[in-house]
A and B are shown apart, each in its own frame.
Chain A
Amino acid sequence: MKQISTRLTREDVAHIAALAHVALGEAELALFQEQLSAILDHAAQLQTLDTDAIPPTESVLPLRTVLREDEPGSTLPVEDALANAPVTRGNCFVVPPVR
């Protein structure tokens, strides 16, 4: 297992915020830099365990390939699906340009 630093830089936090699509102010970036570093520092204890031969938990259930009967059912009416949207036009959600 490679050694990783649990100390995040301000740039790291800004990068994570961009990945998560959240706009953060300078104060929040600084606060999360401290708090996330502390949490990751605590989580570093996991690196002390040898897990090379341990499979990851993919599910706690013994279930495999779950399929149900392919029966037609009712779907949500368009007006219900649009009812909670902030801005709509016709049968569409309105958004700024997708670039």
Chain B
Amino acid sequence: MSDLYDLTIHEALDALRCGDITSVALTQAMLDRILAVDNTLQAYLTLTPEAALEQAEAADVLRAEGRDAPLLGIPIALKDNISTQGIETTAGSKILEGYVPPFDATIVRKLKAAGAIILGKTNLDEFAMGSSTEHSAFFPTRNPWDVTRVPGGSSGGSAAAVAVGEALAAVGTDTGGSVRQPAALCGVVGVRPTYGRCSRYGLVAFASSLDQAGPLTRDVTDAALMLQVMAGHDPQDGTTWPEPVPDYSVALSPDVRGLRIGIPREYFAEGLQPDVERSVREALQVFVELGAELVDVHLPHTDYALSTYYLVAPAEASANLARFDGVRYGYRAEGHFETIGDLYEQTRGAGFGPEVLRRIMLGAYALSAGYYDAYYLKAQKVRTLIKGDFDAAFTNVDLIAGPTSPVTAFHLGERTADPLQMYLADIFTLSQALAGIPAISLPCGFDADGLPVGLQLAAPALQEARMFHAAFAYEQATKWWMQRPSISK
């Protein structure tokens, strides 16, 4: 058997069910791996090794009693903007440093109930605002394929941890691409579910009409396993879909004959790195060889997604982040204040990092008197057009394919000086988020520097099974996912 940290969830479950390994051995292997590589990568903000080993022992006891569960004994990591009872949850921000939630997010409660073991909390851009994890208030995470490069973001810690075997899987959040883009840049599978498929209860809110949690995994089977546990209606979140969650495992078939895959010309435009375009076009040919049909589709408002997103999301963020005021939890500025207003301003001015301040300011402006119609309302109208593009395209195709990111992993510091340059890293992941539809990123090759490239498949709302089906077929035919970064050992 290969190193335990190199297993997929389904391989580990097979070994656990046969009694070949124990959850304690598996969890210890992950902790050893973290000890070996995380000084370099810095994927984790918080580790909970003692609690993880206790949970692993408990899982082994249950298994010895003949019990089983979908993730019993599987060690995973959680992005640090997901509330965990008794475990510090910072959202990558100084303003929440030391904050210990008194409750679990619904998805955490579900993952624990399914037997998952929590190894710790992973790094992110502050409040999930960023595309490189460099906006973490604590430290940047590095890409395991080249430690001089970023892992993407904002779920960069989650993606790096899964790529290098510091967790069998991780949970991230995706507001405009924050699961899919780091998955692409780190060579792992990342899923943004349909808006409302997973509960947002207990996620540190960024943009409430866009935020969704999703899994990052080594392969498609694992992604389906994780989403199966995370998805479903939650009385605590009025925006969750009441529809039952289908059995995703039955969708994992290699036969895609007759599947119609839409190829938007807008996704192969100027600015696309040639190696990325080559890898993605080769991936599309694989689908043709498997018997699927490629169909030209038109998403005419694609070019407007960036502007739309960077008005809608900051507007919602400016409202959501109003709660950080130095009164009820988190950081409070030092000193004597004459009024509570002074306390708010000093706490927020010093507690938020530059990218968060930028977005709060942008959002406050877009919502302010005299500018609401021109910015926020206008953006919400264009959002309707963007969603309409997908509705029209999906009348003729089953899925829509393209690159996840226009570029492979860039160097640390390369884009931090110019916010617009950083925002452009998300250009292919924003429109699905605005439309509320699911999408998956999966490894589809490497560029000339040996950096992973991601293929994105998007499906109509609630059609995650269709997306998993095609992704699984591609994965079985190619095996890109089996490549591991050379940081190993």
Which residues does A use to contact B, with CB under 8 Å?
1-2, 4, 8, 12-13, 16-17, 19-24, 28, 31-32, 35-36, 38-40, 42-43, 45-47, 49, 51, 54-61, 63, 66, 68-69, 76, 80-81, 83-87, 93, 95-99
Contact = CB atoms under 8 A, between A and B. Distances in A.
A8 B384 CA distance: 28
Interface stretch (B45-53, B373-381, B471-479): B373-381
Interface size class of B (residues with CB under 8 A): 35 or more
A40 B360 CA distance: 14
Given A46-B379, A55-B384, A21 B344 contact: yes
Interface string B337-363: 111111111101110101001101110
B304 interface: yes
9 closest Cβ pairs, A-B complex: A60-B436, A23-B349, A56-B380, A84-B329, A86-B332, A51-B381, A23-B345, A66-B238, A43-B307
A39 B377 CA distance: 17
Nearest to B312: A57
Nearest to A17: B361
A83 to B, nearest CB: 7
B318 interface: yes
Nearest to A21: B344
A22 to B, nearest CB: 5
Contacts of A97: 338-340
Nearest to A12: B365
Interface in B315-343: 318, 322, 325-332, 336-343
Contact of A24 (B328, B337, B357, B384): B357
Given A16-B364, A84-B102, A97-B339, 8 more contacts: A21-B348, A23-B345, A40-B375, A42-B420, A61-B195, A66-B238, A86-B332, A93-B327
Given A22-B345, A51-B381, A83-B100, A39 B419 contact: yes
Contacts of A69: 235
A49 B304 contact: yes
Nearest to B332: A86
Contacts of A76: 102-103
A32 B419 CA distance: 11
A22 B382 contact: no
Nearest to B324: A21
A43 B376 CA distance: 11
A42 B378 contact: no
Contacts of A86: 326-327, 330-332
Contacts of B331: 86
18 contacts: A20-B318, A20-B360, A21-B322, A21-B344, A24-B357, A42-B306, A46-B307, A46-B379, A46-B382, A47-B378, A54-B385, A57-B387, A66-B238, A66-B239, A80-B102, A84-B99, A84-B328, A98-B339
Nearest to A54: B381
A66 to B, nearest CB: 4
Contact of B328 (A2, A13, A22, A85): A85
A46 B377 CA distance: 11
B384 A56 contact: yes
A18 B342 CA distance: 11
A57 B362 contact: no
Contacts of A1: 373-374, 378
B172 interface: no
